[in-house]
Amino acid sequence: MSTEQASSTADSTAAHSTEGAYVRRGKPFDRDMNYISDRITLDGRDGWPVEAGRYRLIAARACPWANRTLISRRLLGLEDAISVGMPGPTHDKRSWTFDLDEGAVDPVLGYERLQQAYFARFPDYPRGITVPALVDVPSKAVVTNDFQQITLDFATEWTAFHREGAPDLYPEPLREEIDALNKWMLHRINNAVYKVGFAGDQESYEQEYRELWAALDELEERLSDRRYLMGESITEADVRLFPTLIRFDPVYFGHFKANRQMLSTMPHLWNYTKDLFQTPGFGDTVDLQQIKRHYYYVHEDINPTQVVPLGPDMSTLLDPHDRDRFATNTWGEGGTAPEAPYAAEVVDPAHTPLHVRGR
């Protein structure tokens, strides 16, 4: 999610992870969950009113937490209301950089580093420079990096700018259950792979490994009798789970030593992953080459050679899945699939088995 923590008082024995938390030898992985809590809302109660064209989403394709926001933005049709800037897959210890853009400068903000947007608001910002981040374009200052709240606000505060046929990703009757599932997944799945991969000793690793796999087994069972996590339709819960699952076989299995078995050997989870990958708005946001480049290159403490593996073969994501056997209303009442992404936002065809032609 981020580069290293910005604090200059860090323990010298601690290695900074790309996820904004310290990794200390002999201790479990501990993610810093303190984010900028400001929200962009319809009533503007935090000083940031919903306004088309005012904010820019900075979201690296390599990052699973940022991947959620790219999916949500696509599904809801917010491309015209919220512009997007995409840093490259690697970064230095200071910040994500806009090295994919011409001149290595974000064309809207004029920044070389996301760090500049943080410092524009907080000159002595002491925490990780994380993605996703929403930046106020007029002031070029960061508004929020609270990845858990951003997609919820996309679904509930930005409704005036949703496309016709946008799905209700956070339906009121299901919110309590979605919130509970999301909280469980955060600790047992989404963040758990990092607790396995960055475990500082054998005992911590084995404990986290067993807890992760127990949770994946629970999801395998849950998906045995329904198409999506909440039933017949896609919700915020699916948006949060997919980025972890799509990274599992190419990264978490080997790089993070979460290697009981590959996800592709678990019929319900794998067919669910294939199903979502083939669904507009999900797979067309995934850049598998950037994902592998990020983890294997940036995590020098885990992979000091920085060699990026060529495998595994992910073309099986395009194989037929069996999820059509379940009752399905993918987009909800009155909902439709999103249009193709804008040409400028299409993933390089060489980086994914899913070939999408842009608008």
> How many angstroms separate the CA atoms of 19 and 146, rounded?
13
100's tokens: 């994919």
Q: How many CA atoms lie within 13 A of 286 on its CB side?
A: 27
Tokens 């979502």 -> residue: 276
Q: Is the C-alpha dihedral spanning 262, 210, 219, 336 positive or negative?
A: negative
Q: Is 213 annotated for ligand binding?
A: no
Q: How far apart are CA 117 and CA 185, in angstroms?
A: 30
Partnered with residue 55 across adjacent β-strands are 136
Q: Say which of 63, 170, 228, 296 is annotated catalytic.
A: 63
Q: Are 336 and 318 in contact (CB under 8 A)?
A: no
- Of the residues 22, 118, 194, 272, only one is catalytic, namely 194
* Catalytic (active site) residue 35: no
The helix/strand/coil state of 7 is coil
CA distance linking residue 20 with residue 198, whole number of Å? 12
Q: What is the DSSP string of 28-42?
A: --EE---------BT
CA distance 170 to 248: 25
Q: What is the DSSP letter of 140?
A: T
Report d(CA 302, CA 296) in Å as an integer: 8
Phi, psi of 141 (to 5 degrees): -115, 145
Contacts of 99 (CB under 8 A, 6+ apart): 87, 88
Helices 147-156 & 236-247 angle (0-180, nearest 10): 140
How many other C-beta atoms can be found within 10 angstroms of the C-beta atom of residue 304? 8
Q: Is 194 a catalytic residue?
A: yes
What distances in angstroms separate CA 118 from CA 133, 159, 178, 201, one per listed residue? 9, 27, 31, 34
Residue list for the binding site for glutathione: 96
Active-site residues: which are they? 63, 194
